[in-house]
Amino acid sequence: MSTKARWELRIFKLLAGILLLCSTCVSRAGDTADAPDRTWSQRSTLATRGLQSWYNQGSGLYDTTGWWNSANAITTLADYSRVNSSREYLSVFSNTFSAAQKTSPNFLNNFYDDEGWWALAWIDVYDLTHRPQYLMMAESIFADMSVGWDNTCSGGIWWSKDRKYKNAIANELFLSVAAHLGLRVKDTEARRKYLSWAEREWQWFSHSGMIDTDHLVNDGLNESCTNNHKTKWTYNQGVILGGLTALSEANHDPLLIDVADRIAQATISSRSLTDGHMILHEPCEPNCGPDGSQFKGIFVRNLMELNELHSSPVAKNFVFTNAESIWREVKGPKYQLPLDWAHAGGLPDASTQSSALDVLVAAAEMLK
- Per-residue pLDDT at 316 exceeds 90: yes
Q: Is residue 19 part of a domain?
A: no
- Per-residue pLDDT at 104 exceeds 50: yes
pLDDT band per the 50, 70, 90 thresholds, residue 37: low
Domain total of the chain: 1
> Cα–Cα distance between 243 and 176 in angstroms, integer?
4
Q: In this predicted model, what pLDDT tens digit does every residue of 277-296 receive, in sequence order?
A: 999 999 999 999 999 999 99
Q: In this predicted model, what pLDDT tens digit does every residue of 174-185 receive, in sequence order?
A: 999 999 999 999
Q: Is residue 80 part of a domain?
A: yes
pLDDT band per the 50, 70, 90 thresholds, residue 331: confident
- Residue of 92, 9, 75, 142 whose CA lies nearest to 357: 75
Q: Is residue 26 part of a domain?
A: no
pLDDT band per the 50, 70, 90 thresholds, residue 208: very high
Tell me which residue range forms the domain holding 320: 33-366
Q: Is residue 6 part of a domain?
A: no
Q: Is residue 28 part of a domain?
A: no
Report DSSP state, residue 314. Answer: H
Q: Is residue 24 part of a domain?
A: no
Q: Is residue 74 part of a domain?
A: yes
b/e map 325-363, b = 16+ CB within 10 Å? bbbebbeeebbbbbbbbbebeeebbbbbbbbbbbbbbbb
> Cα–Cα distance between 175 and 156 in angstroms, integer?
10
The reported pLDDT for the residue numbered 355 is 98
- Per-residue pLDDT at 3 exceeds 60: no
Per-residue pLDDT averaged across 193-214, rounded?
98
The per-residue pLDDT of the chain, averaged, comes to 91
The reported pLDDT for the residue numbered 11 is 40
- Per-residue pLDDT at 150 exceeds 50: yes
The reported pLDDT for the residue numbered 343 is 87
The CATH number covering residue 40 comes to 1.50.10.20
Q: Is residue 308 part of a domain?
A: yes
